[in-house]
Structures are given as structure tokens and as C-alpha cells.
Amino acid sequence: MEKKVGIYVHIPFCKNKCAYCNFYSIPEAKGGYKLIDSYYKAVIKHIGEYAAQLDGYLIDTVYFGGGTPSYIGASRLIGILDALKNNGHILLESEITAEVNPGSISKDDLARLRKAGFNRLSIGVQSSDDTTLDTIGRIHTFEDAEETFNDARQAGFDNLSVDIIFGLPSQDRETWAQTVQQVAGLKAEHISCYSLKIEEGTELFMFKDSPFLPSDDVQADMYLYAVEMLDRFGYKQYEISNFARRGFESKHNMKYWLGEEYIGFGPGAHSYVGQCRYSFTEDVSEYAEQVEMGKKILEHDEQMSDFENAGEYLMLRLRTTHGISEEEYYSIYRLKMDFVLELLHKYEENGWAMYKDGRWRFTPMGFLLSNVLIGEMLEAQTKQRTQISKPWQTESAGEETQLTLFDKRPVAAGLFGGRRLIGRNEFS
């Protein structure tokens, strides 16, 4: 039986660089527009060269992320989708998503995308407050976002997702509450609600730790408010940052969190196939030239061990409300999770985790602390393994081993921290 796979196409161009964004995307002012044609040619060639590998799969999700996919125009997006259709087997019922930004797509282009087979859009709204949008360098107002949303509906999209961000400059509980309510009022099928992380190299970095930004406490209130309010509007939380009406959870993103296979195309795109993770060079010019000349574009590849996969199981599935189960973990990895269970019982007492129908998951309070909690669980998992393989080893020696295994994982304290675990943009 052929296996199912998701396809991710990375489009690293934007009209403008947002003040908070540290993703690799080339804005118009830095000559991005001039590179689009060579990028497009290279992606089409790249997909054609992968036809043999794609042959063994049934494609059930396709996701165009960025950057701003809509910025390269509907014709090119359709061209890339056609290349995938010609070189792979896209199932009729596939979820085919494109990220679009208000102000970068026309009504006609939306209609063309729908006609070509795109059936889901993820719209970067970010805030309903125009002053905030201006401060963070967005090129649109909330009214523009509403217009794009309504145009998408008229074009026939009945599966729309909207992104919003909390923790933005000058945002307070009141303006955040307005954003949540006004965005819920749009009646999208799906809402992603991200916490802003101030990254080095962004315009906003100079305001890190300034009173200009909401404190961690205020951000925690904002998050818990969104969870409760979106629930009242009929959006069930199914992942740390994602909420959906029943049946409209993102099928593509679920693949990342459930550890299923996906294949990426384009500069910087990541893939996970046959227990191997790999990614391509991020540099657009290098990617285009190398593909054109038939040379290597692979930047990184890593064969995952079973134990690493077991760690990813904990790390990724605990992002979701589906959570983890002892039986499932044992049946996949033949590993016990007694030390992890000890921690989960402790988290339960603190109101951070809950056990229901044989599965453990985080509560909204637990999601707020998830980076720290997951870090502790990974350490516990390593400790358990060390004790099994070297039962004579002392506890402190076990702790030393855990550092060498997980020292590269981002386990920062604070709110979420690991928003971009799987190397693709989650807001744009």
C-alpha cells in the first residue's frame, strides 16, 4: 500500500520585512522581486527531479508557506501546484493550503487559486488594531484583512485560517481582547494564536525587556484569555497555538506534530522521510543556481535514531491536546516511560497536565510552561534509558549523560519559546 505524505513548498519572499520577523525572507527593498523568476524555475525543476521519489507516495496535504506565498502571484503558485500534480499523486480530497497576506493578493487571484485546486488559506491578520499593525511593519490595516477574508469567501474558500499574535508592542489586555473578539467575529474555520518572541536581528530586538512590550505575566493572561474566549466562540484548542471548529484542524500541520512524513521543496525547506530529517540551502540565489546546474542543495541531513524519535514523540505530541499514552509509546518504541509518568503526576497536581481516556496532555497552564516541562521530561527519559543500559551507574552520572544527548534542544524558560520547532513559519 502506498504511504501518505505531506508536501511543503517554501516561498521566501515578502513585500516588506515585518519588525518582529527573523525568518529568512527577502523583501522587495532588498531585491527579492528580481529573484522570483529564477526561484520559480528552480522549484519546478526540483519537483521534476523528485518525481521518482514521489512515485511511492499518495500526497494528502500540500502547504505553501513563507515568506508570503501570495506575493509571487497566483500564476506561479498554480504553476508549482501543477508541477506537483504532474510529478506526484495528489489525492482528490487533499488539503491544499496557501499562506496569504492582506494587501498582497487580488480578488481575481483568489478566484484563480480556488479554481486551480487550493482549498484552504491561512491569512496573516495579526491584530485588529491598526496602530499596532503599523508599529510592527505590516503593510495592511485590519479593514484590508477583512476585505481579503471576504474576497476569499466569495472566491469559494470554505476553509479559512487566520493568524493573530499576542505580546506585541504597546498591546494591552484590552486591545488583545478586541483582536480575539473581532477575529472570532470573522467566523474563520481555524485560528492560530501565537506569542511574540523577540529575536535577535529583528527591528524589535532593541525593545527587548522594555516596558513597551507586555510583561510575561500580561502575556500569560492574554494567552489564557484567548483559550477561554475562542472556546466560547466554538474553537476547540487542539495544539498550543491552534484552535479550530470541529473537523477543521490543519491536516498538514498535524503531520509535523504526529511525526508523519513530509517532503519540502524550495530554499530552506525541511523534510522528514524514512526517519531522516534533511533541509536545503536557505540562500535563494544559491538554491536557484545549484538546481539549475544539477548540483547539491542539501544543507543538513540527519538519520534519526529510535531514541531520538521517542524524544520527538514526547516533544511534538505534547504540543497537541491529543497528548501521549504509555501504551502507544511502548508499542512504537519498546520503551517504558516511568520517569516521565512520575513528572506527569507531579504536573497534574500543579494543574499543568491532565489524564483522560488513557492519555496525558497539558492543560492551558501547562502549555504556557511547556518548554520547561518538556525539557524536564526529555531529561527524565534520558535518565531512564541510562539506568536501563547501565544499571550500575549512579544518578549523578546519569544526569551527566542527559546533557550530551539533549544539549542542542531549545529548552528555554518562559512562554513557549519553541514556537518554530519544525523549521517552518508558523506565522507570516
Which range binds ligand SF4 by CB under 6 A, 32-40, 60-68, 154-162, 302-310? 60-68
Shortest separation between residue 315's beta carbon and ligand SF4, angstroms: 24
Q: Which of 6, 3, 4, 2 is nearest to 265 (CA)?
A: 6
Which range binds ligand SF4 by CB under 6 A, 65-73, 165-173, 267-275, 285-293? 65-73
10 binds ligand SF4 (CB under 6 A): no
Backbone angles phi, psi at 98, to 5 degrees: -130, 135
**Pairwise CA distance, residues 310 & 297, whole Å:** 29
CB under 8 Å to 73, separation ≥6 — which residues? 109
Beta strands in 274-393, from DSSP E residues, in sequence order: 276-280, 298-303, 353-356, 359-362
CA dihedral 177, 183, 187, 189 (to 10 degrees): -100
17 binds ligand SF4 (CB under 6 A): yes
Which range binds ligand SF4 by CB under 6 A, 32-40, 61-69, 219-227, 289-297? 61-69
Q: Which residues inside 221-250 make contact with ligand SF4, applying CB under 6 A?
A: none
148 binds ligand SF4 (CB under 6 A): no
132 binds ligand SF4 (CB under 6 A): no
14 binds ligand SF4 (CB under 6 A): yes
CB under 8 Å to 263, separation ≥6 — which residues? 5, 6, 7, 8, 50, 53, 54, 57, 271, 273
Q: Quick check: helix, strand or coil at residue 35? A: helix
175 binds ligand SF4 (CB under 6 A): no
Q: Which residues inside 86-115 make contact with ligand SF4, applying CB under 6 A?
A: 101
Shortest separation between residue 334's beta carbon and ligand SF4, angstroms: 41
Shortest separation between residue 224's beta carbon and ligand SF4, angstroms: 25
**Pairwise CA distance, residues 372 & 248, whole Å:** 29
* Helix (H) or strand (E) run with residue 309 in it: helix 306-317
Angle (deg, nearest 10), helices 142-154 and 107-116:
40
Query: Measured from the CB atom, is 249 or 426 closer to ligand SF4?
Result: 426
Q: Of 5, 18, 145, 310, which lies in the binding site for ligand SF4, with binding defined by CB under 6 A?
A: 18
The amino acid present at 280, given as its one-letter code, is F
Which range binds ligand SF4 by CB under 6 A, 17-25, 206-214, 232-240, 242-250? 17-25
311 binds ligand SF4 (CB under 6 A): no
C-alpha 341: how far from chain center: 27
* Helix (H) or strand (E) run with residue 343 in it: helix 338-349
**Pairwise CA distance, residues 34 & 229, whole Å:** 44
418 binds ligand SF4 (CB under 6 A): no
Query: Measured from the CB atom, is 237 or 242 closer to ligand SF4?
Result: 242
Q: Of 135, 179, 381, 428, which lies in the binding site for ligand SF4, with binding defined by CB under 6 A?
A: 428
Q: Of 67, 169, 268, 418, which lies in the binding site for ligand SF4, with binding defined by CB under 6 A?
A: 67
Shortest separation between residue 99's beta carbon and ligand SF4, angstroms: 8
Q: Of 5, 9, 11, 23, which lies in the binding site for ligand SF4, with binding defined by CB under 6 A?
A: 23
Q: Of 5, 42, 68, 263, which lies in the binding site for ligand SF4, with binding defined by CB under 6 A?
A: 68
202 binds ligand SF4 (CB under 6 A): no
Total H helices, total E strands in the chain: 16, 16
Q: Which residues contact ligand SF4 by CB under 6 A? A: 14, 17-18, 21, 23, 25, 66-68, 101, 425, 428
